[in-house]
Amino acid sequence: MYIVISGLVKKYGENIVFDGFDAKIEKNRTTFIMGPSGCGKTTLINILMGITTPDGGTISGVPALKSAVFQEDRLCESFSAISNVRLVCDKKIKNDTIIEHLKKIGLGDGLTKPVAEFSGGMKRRVAIVRAVLARSEILFLDEPFKGLDTETKKTAMEYLKENTKGKTVVIVTHDIEEVKALEGDLITL
């Protein structure tokens, strides 16, 4: 089972980002998208998510239920970490489960204070937990470990690996070590 991208075309004015791009993403696995800054990684996953409209080509096999870590955190700043996750997940998921996940990714303190008071790396991890606990069939993660220090990044990668087994995960990254650690497929742009 694959997500199939064929003949993708995307232009911004004179800037041709994709001109007949083809790729296959295997479902129920992790696939990394790598490439230099500005090559179109975010554009590609935004097209796959349906946020950006392509100028040509076809995409098939993208599941309907999607969750994401966007390039920017896009959290509700005045809401707590728990509330930010609560907003997107099934009512059946208990607050204790949300707290357990936040702890597993290394966030123990201040879970009820507004995330506006969190550091960048703390916010990033809230965004990761939100994407994992949201009801979804596919996760799109745009540089999910950006701004995390080595130790925190290791914890976040372990958390992600542990909690996305058998799921379709698409991750944009700059770091080949992430591809090795999470044992994913690789698409280079």
Ligand X SMILES: Nc1ncnc2c1ncn2[C@@H]1O[C@H](COP(=O)(O)OP(=O)(O)O)[C@@H](O)[C@H]1O
Residues that bind Mg ion in the complex, under the rule CB under 5 A:
41-42
Q: In what order do the strands lie in the sheet with 56-60?
A: 15-26, 2-12, 56-60
Site for ligand X in 91-130 (CB under 6 A): none
Smallest distance from ligand X to CB 95, Å = 35
39 binds, among ligand X, Mg ion, none (CB under 5 to 8 A by kind): ligand X
Sign of the Cα pseudo-torsion (17, 23, 24, 25, in order): negative
40 binds, among Mg ion, ligand X, none (CB under 5 to 8 A by kind): ligand X
38 binds, among Mg ion, ligand X, none (CB under 5 to 8 A by kind): ligand X
20 binds, among Mg ion, ligand X, none (CB under 5 to 8 A by kind): none
Which CB atom, from 52 or from 163, has the smaller least distance to ligand X?
52
Which CB atom, from 42 or from 164, has the smaller least distance to Mg ion?
42
- Within 10 angstroms of residue 10's Cβ, the number of other Cβ atoms is 21
Angle, helix 150-163 to helix 120-133, in steps of 10 degrees: 0
Would you mind telling me the total number of residues written for the chain in this entry? 189
Q: Which residues have CB under 8 Å from 27's CB, separation 6+?
A: 1, 2, 3, 61, 63, 138, 168
Residue 134 one-letter amino acid: A
Contact pattern from residue 11 through residue 50 relative to ligand X, giving x for each residue in contact according to CB under 6 A and a dash for the rest: -x--x-x-----------------x-xxxxxxx-------
Residues making contact with ligand X (CB under 6 A):
12, 15, 17, 35, 37-43
